[in-house]
Amino acid sequence: MMKERCMLAAAALALTLPCAMAEEAVVYEAESASLHGKIAVSADAGASGGKVIGRFENDADTADFSISVPQAGAYDLTFVCKGIGGGKTNKVKVDGQPQGEFTCAGEEFECCTLRGVLLEAGEHTVTVYKSWGWIWLDCLMVTPAQEIADSAFDVEPALVDADATQEARDLFAYLCEGYGEVTLAGQHCDLGYDGPETQAIYAVTGKYPAIIGLDMMDYSPQRQALGARSTATDVALDVHERGGIVTFCWHWNAPTDTLIEPIDRDTGSPSWWGGFYTRNTSFDIAAVMDGKDPEGKAAIDADIAAIAGQLGRLQDAGVPVLWRPLHEASGGWFWWGAKGPDACRKLWVYLYEQLTDVYGIHNLIWVWNGQNADWYPGDAYVDIIGQDIYADKHAYMPGNALFNEILDYSGGKKPIALTENGVVPDIELMRRTRAMWMWFNTWSGGFVHTNGQYSEAYTEAELLNKVYNSEYVITLDELP
């Protein structure tokens, strides 16, 4: 009966919803959902049915929508909502399985879509639950999803650096050739193929990841002056010698004199050990990029020079690098994203120009991981778009909603990779939804092992074994 009422009201609702509604759309009013916890129902003249629900303050506050779809396939779930006090992100389950999240960017109603959710024909329960909470939810729209086209994977294997090394060109060509058909297994591991993460994976699967993730963090002069040391470049050389592929991120410390707390050299207080976090520094990258902080610019220039030295070692050894600096910028938790997209875009371009034009570093494949289209620095400075996804434990969904969204960033001209993940996605679901990330790169530590033994806390051994031994997943032994 609810579905029939929704369909009869669709024409009227189309006049009030803040986004276009397809003919096949079915709308489910939030006030008619099954509400749990302390969810409130409130009148709102701007809502499609005149009412909204909220505020999702507590973990027990959930809304269950009972929906029905006529046939098996992929569907878009569109939530009409607004944030309370600004942008808010919340989560979605279908039939008890986590599917992803949606973000209401502001205090006006907008349509937030979780794209390409796989559903069998029949009845389903869509649950909205708290991440940040603090939203008013108007309704849920369910629409058949458009399949990702073959053309989405037809990317040009040309690097943005016209002077890229032959090794970098060859690696990028190899990655582009398999894009859409296979994904490469990756693992962040400070000790490379001898580390506890990779050894634990091998014990379960008999395979090693094709890609090893490393960090330039402790090569920063700001950290080295306080006692930090790194062997990451040496590990990268060993990975390359064994036939593997290297990806580097950079947890970049802010200048030491901007750290908020006193520095304790003996214990390593968060003010320097976590000097890349916004909460630990007063550093203003916008002021640096606008020419208002020459001391700050000198500090970051010294860091760039040091990192260029390490990348140069790899270039001299013929090692191409999947280079992922300034990651997760739009989250704001790192200082390079704390002052908004304009300053961060300028920093990306500056870093690119310094490394390529000033220091002659040409072994890099530039992987942008800003996580929001507004932060994209432009096609001329990006080779690959990355996304980090930390799903709920044992939630093996492929992240296809985000994959679809990212396709819009560059009009499908750039390949897309899962540059960090906690849970390993199910390769079968990746193929069914066509969300074929160029690679995945599982984060380290407890996401993989406990005291050197494989941990099933995030990814069960059966699923890991299935993925690593799939014909559609490339591991170290299968690299050319």
Indicate the domain borders of the chain.
2-144, 150-478
Indicate if the pLDDT at residue 360 is higher than 50: yes
Using an 8 Å Cβ cutoff, are 239 and 195 in contact? no
pLDDT the model gives residue 17: 66
pLDDT the model gives residue 105: 86
CA pair distance 51, 55, nearest whole angstrom: 13
Minimum mean pLDDT range among 5-19, 123-137, 420-434, 463-477: 5-19
Structure tokens belonging to residue 470: 């799939």
pLDDT the model gives residue 148: 87
DSSP-based three-state secondary structure for 450: strand
Distance of CA 95 to the CA centre of its chain: 24
CA distance between the termini of the chain: 58
CA pair distance 156, 299, nearest whole angstrom: 37
Using an 8 Å Cβ cutoff, are 355 and 366 in contact? no
pLDDT the model gives residue 373: 93
pLDDT the model gives residue 11: 42
CA pair distance 78, 76, nearest whole angstrom: 6
Average pLDDT, integer, range 156-184: 98
Place of tokens 């029949």: 122
Average pLDDT score over the chain: 93
Average pLDDT, integer, range 41-53: 95
pLDDT the model gives residue 143: 95
292 contacts: CB under 8 Å, gap ≥ 6: none
pLDDT the model gives residue 36: 98
Ramachandran bin of 433, using left for φ above 0, alpha for ψ from -120 to 50, beta for the remaining angles: alpha
Exposed e or buried b per residue across 79-98, where buried means at least 16 C-beta atoms within 10 angstroms of its C-beta: bbbbbbeeebbbbbbbeeeb
CA pair distance 372, 390, nearest whole angstrom: 16
What are the angstrom distances between the C-alpha of 329 and each of 2, 9, 137, 334, 380? 42, 41, 27, 7, 19
**On the CB side of 62, how many CA atoms lie within 13 Å of its CA?**
14
Minimum mean pLDDT range among 71-85, 211-225, 269-283, 429-443: 269-283
- Residue with the bigger pLDDT between 105 and 165: it is 165
Residue 7 pLDDT level (bands cut at 50, 70, 90): very low
pLDDT the model gives residue 478: 98
pLDDT the model gives residue 264: 64
Indicate if the pLDDT at residue 268 is higher than 80: no
Place of tokens 């943005």: 160
pLDDT the model gives residue 100: 82
In percent, how much of the chain has pLDDT > 90?
Answer: 83
pLDDT the model gives residue 468: 98
Known catalytic membership, residue 420: yes
Indicate if the pLDDT at residue 12 is higher than 50: no
CB atoms within 10 A of CB 167: 18
CA pair distance 382, 369, nearest whole angstrom: 10
Indicate if the pLDDT at residue 366 is higher than 50: yes
DSSP-based three-state secondary structure for 346: helix
- Residue 476's Cβ-count burial label (10 Å; 0-12, 13-18, 19+) is buried
* Nearest to 442, CA basis, from 415, 422, 462, 459: 422
Beta strands in 20-134 (DSSP E): 26-29, 34-36, 40-43, 51-54, 62-69, 73-83, 88-94, 97-104, 110-119, 122-129
pLDDT the model gives residue 271: 81
Fill in the amino acid letter for 114.
L
* Nearest to 115, CA basis, from 407, 373, 328, 384: 407
State the catalytic residue, choosing from 156, 328, 405, 456. Answer: 328
CB atoms within 10 A of CB 53: 26
pLDDT the model gives residue 3: 38
Indicate if the pLDDT at residue 304 is higher than 70: yes
Chain length of the chain: 480
CA pair distance 164, 431, nearest whole angstrom: 32
Residues linked to residue 414 through DSSP beta bridges, in sequence order: none
CB atoms within 10 A of CB 134: 19
Using an 8 Å Cβ cutoff, are 53 and 40 in contact? yes
Average pLDDT, integer, range 413-421: 97
Protein fold of 150-478: TIM Barrel (3.20.20)
pLDDT the model gives residue 147: 84
CA pair distance 121, 104, nearest whole angstrom: 29
CATH annotation of 2-144: 2.60.120.260
Indicate if the pLDDT at residue 256 is higher than 90: yes
State the catalytic residue, choosing from 353, 420, 428, 471. Answer: 420
Fill in the amino acid letter for 95.
D
Structure tokens belonging to residue 468: 């690593």
